[in-house]
Structure 1
Amino acid sequence: MALIERQIKPDNTAVAQALVQLINAGGKLLRPAYCLLFSQFKATDRQKMIALAAAVETLHTATLVHDDIIDRATTRRGQPTISATFGPDVAVYAGDYLFVVCFKLLANYASSLRSVQQDGTSMERILNGELKQMATRYNTAITIDQYLTQVSGKTGQLFALSCFIGAYEGGNTWQFAKQAETIGMDIGIAFQLLDDILDYTSTPKTMGKPVHEDLRQGVYSAPLILAMSEHRTEFQQLLAKGNEMSADDIDQVLALISHYDGIGAARSMAKNHTAAALKGLATLPATPARTALEALTRQLLTREA
């Protein structure tokens, strides 16, 4: 994070303050962790890999800033969002500046144009995932396949990119890096499925952000979609209220999700993608890096908060 902070030199003081606050807000740093671990299958330049891991985290943080503006979110990681503290205008510029930092780090440290191209492709897929999500807001006819397409873009792609950059820039073959990318995609999908489950089963304190906000804003995730798939009529009257849903309406939706076992069905999907990721990791060379990747993945994808 210190490396990212050193890259922040905007002329605008408010944007600079917003970015420093954001960087110091903390976070799990999962994506850079996967980038660094996948780089350790061969001896490599540690400074270079730290910089590239920082680029990945910067890209991730930029997407969060813009997400919070669109969602009108007031908290993130248990703290006020940039948009809530400094206003949406400053937040937009802060997010944009982080994209600049990401590409500066890539330009300065990536050894191959392929890595820059991969990052550009990933950004496009992330945006397309967000656009698909926007297009299906308040759509009670949404299918689980549509949801998975969105998740593959907005969350899976960042994990996939992290694993790819780590493997490829770590000196491994293109084939190995693409294998890492596939593993990362499964990790990302399972991560988002679990995150969506926790949105229905956790509290704001344990999540570090408000729960059930996606439901109010018409962003329907796996537990709801799976519970609703054959019982849409029972959900539609409640969901039609949109962001005007009362606490009682939310409770009724949660009761229906529980009754039709949407949580259990979503957990089953998450387990399948977790198993696919662990199966992929098991095919990698038996090194300390693989052991660490397997441990991190198991811990990450069985978390309760």
Structure 2
Amino acid sequence: MPTITDDTLAAWTRRSLDAVEDLLRTTLDTPGDPFLTTVATHLLAAGGKRVRPTLVLLAARFGDPDRPEVVRAAAAVELMHVASLYHDDVMDEAATRRGVPSINAKWGNRVAILAGDYLVARAAELAAPLGAAAAEEQARMLTRLVTGQLRETVGAGPDADPERYYMSVIADKTAALFTLATRLGAHAAGAPAGHLEALGAYGEALGIAFQLADDVLDVTQPTARAGKPANADLRQGVATLPVLRALRVRGRGQGRLRNRPARLRRMLAGGPITDAGDLATVTRLLQRSPGLAEARTEVERYADRARRALLPLPASPARDALADMCDQLISRCDPAPPAQPA
């Protein structure tokens, strides 16, 4: 769970997340089919930060947060998130997720795809009592999610701007679910329409910042994240923003410094990089590239946009907690301090 400094709000959020966990367990428990229960709960049992259900709960604080619909909304969003991970791991041929074997590695692609579809269906059941507006929000997010995945798979055409294309992909693949979390939380709590719109704008910008921060960490701290293997993006041949910015930089200076973009371009031209030596070289070049600093700046820019989106909302511990999430994202991407001499 993201850090919440207000003690009362933090305690309420923990209790609410416990209720979400209970609902997830009861929703996915199928006594007559233990295998279905096992595959449906595989990643949920492995843990996770529960960022998206926390966003649902914090957004609900701008209405009546104790409505039973709020916990249903948070559980539905988490099921949608886990379903997307099942499908992502099939697309990426991932072997692990959250420190455990991925469902496709353990039971095969067909089981993983069907289990992901099952989670989407159960999420729809959870959200159904929230009404037609909630169903529309959920359907819109699904459309964006699938569109983003398809666009990433197909790739940018020869006439497309690679960076603009990439930003549109992550807006659909990642930010759409953040937007759903904040809007659905506000809707479930009966928040005013203006609050819902502000929270939706916040979720969209925060989701983009979240993905860009992940892109930076894949270069700067590739082994520090439990959810993904080291250098996941480079291994899959995904040109994230640090890579695109590094390749865009024209040679400056002299000697090896000037040749870095050209060398990177040659090494990345073949797509996925699996050789350990090549991975180490490309990572080192990216870490020294101005493109990495530019990607960090974009994290800050979108985090600031998310923070500004909160301004129409009334001052409260929940608004402070949402703003703090922006600061936490920026801090994650801060360069490591230089080592102190012994």
Given the two structures, how large is their TM-score scaled by the length of structure 1? 0.91
Q: What residue number does 2:194 align with?
A: 175
Q: What residue number does 2:267 align with?
A: 238
Which deviates more from structure 2 when the two are superposed, residues 49-58 or residues 84-93? Answer: 84-93
| Deviation of 1:192 (Å) | 0.3
Q: In structure 2, what is the Cα distance between the partners aligned to 1:174 and 1:283?
A: 12
The answer as to 2:195 corresponding to 1:166 is no
Q: In structure 1, what is the Cα distance between the partners aligned to 2:170 and 2:281?
A: 26
Which deviates more from structure 2 when the two are superposed, residues 249-258 or residues 285-294? Answer: 249-258
Amino acid at match of 1:66: H
| Deviation of 1:137 (Å) | 7.6
The answer as to 2:291 corresponding to 1:270 is no
| Deviation of 1:243 (Å) | 3.3
| Deviation of 1:244 (Å) | 5.4
The answer as to 2:14 corresponding to 1:2 is no
Aligned to 1:67, the other structure's residue is in SS state helix
Amino acid at match of 1:291: D
Counterparts of 1:190-205 in structure 2 under 5 Å?
190-205=209-224
Structure 1 unaligned residues grouped into runs of 5+: none
Contact between 1:223 and 1:263, CA under 8 Å: does it hold in 2?
yes
Aligned to 1:302, the other structure's residue is in SS state helix
Specify which of 29, 43, 46 is matched with residue 67 of structure 2.
46
| Deviation of 1:61 (Å) | 0.6
Q: Label 1:181 to 1:170 Cα distance change in 2 as closer, same or farther (>3 A).
A: same
Specify which of 260, 269, 280 is matched with residue 251 of structure 1.
280
Q: In structure 2, what is the Cα distance between the partners aligned to 1:272 and 1:206?
A: 23
Contact between 1:137 and 1:218, CA under 8 Å: does it hold in 2?
no
Q: In structure 2, what is the Cα distance between the partners aligned to 1:105 and 1:134?
A: 30
| Deviation of 1:252 (Å) | 2.8
Contact between 2:209 and 2:329, CA under 8 Å: does it hold in 1?
no
Specify which of 38, 43, 51 is matched with residue 17 of structure 1.
38
Counterparts of 1:101-250 in structure 2 under 5 Å?
101-108=122-129, 110=130, 112-136=131-155, 143-231=162-250, 233-243=262-272, 245-250=274-279
Contact between 2:195 and 2:312, CA under 8 Å: does it hold in 1?
no
Amino acid at match of 2:22: A
Amino acid at match of 1:65: Y
Question: What are the superposed Cα offsets for residues 7-41 of structure 1, whole Å, 9 maximum, x if unpaired?
Answer: 12566543321222222111111111111111112
Contact between 1:191 and 1:301, CA under 8 Å: does it hold in 2?
no
Q: What residue number does 2:88 align with?
A: 67
Q: In structure 2, what is the Cα distance between the partners aligned to 1:191 and 1:244?
A: 24
Question: What are the superposed Cα offsets for residues 202-230 of structure 1, whole Å, 9 maximum, x if unpaired?
Answer: 14354442122222322110100110114
Q: Label 1:205 to 1:275 Cα distance change in 2 as closer, same or farther (>3 A).
A: closer
Amino acid at match of 2:39: A
Which deviates more from structure 2 when the two are superposed, residues 78-87 or residues 30-39? Answer: 78-87
Question: What are the superposed Cα offsets for residues 72-131 of structure 1, whole Å, 9 maximum, x if unpaired?
Answer: 1111112221111222222111111100111000113x1x31111011011101111111
Q: Label 1:208 to 1:117 Cα distance change in 2 as closer, same or farther (>3 A).
A: closer
Which deviates more from structure 2 when the two are superposed, residues 41-50 or residues 122-131? Answer: 41-50
| Deviation of 1:251 (Å) | 2.6
- State the identity as a percent: 34
Aligned to 2:239, the other structure's residue is in SS state coil
Size of the aligned set, in residue pairs, is 303
Aligned to 1:171, the other structure's residue is in SS state coil
Contact between 2:95 and 2:105, CA under 8 Å: does it hold in 1?
yes
| Deviation of 1:257 (Å) | 2.0
Question: What are the superposed Cα offsets for residues 213-266 of structure 1, whole Å, 9 maximum, x if unpaired?
Answer: 222322110100110114564333212333354222223322332343221010
Aligned to 2:147, the other structure's residue is in SS state helix
Structure 2 unaligned residues grouped into runs of 5+: 1-20, 251-260, 335-342
Question: What are the superposed Cα offsets for residues 113-171 of structure 1, whole Å, 9 maximum, x if unpaired?
Answer: 111101101110111111111112898x8622111101100001110111111112211
Given the two structures, how large is their TM-score scaled by the length of structure 2? 0.82
Question: What are the superposed Cα offsets for residues 254-280 of structure 1, whole Å, 9 maximum, x if unpaired?
Answer: 233234322101000000011111112
The higher radius of gyration belongs to 2
Aligned to 2:137, the other structure's residue is in SS state helix
The answer as to 2:310 corresponding to 1:281 is yes
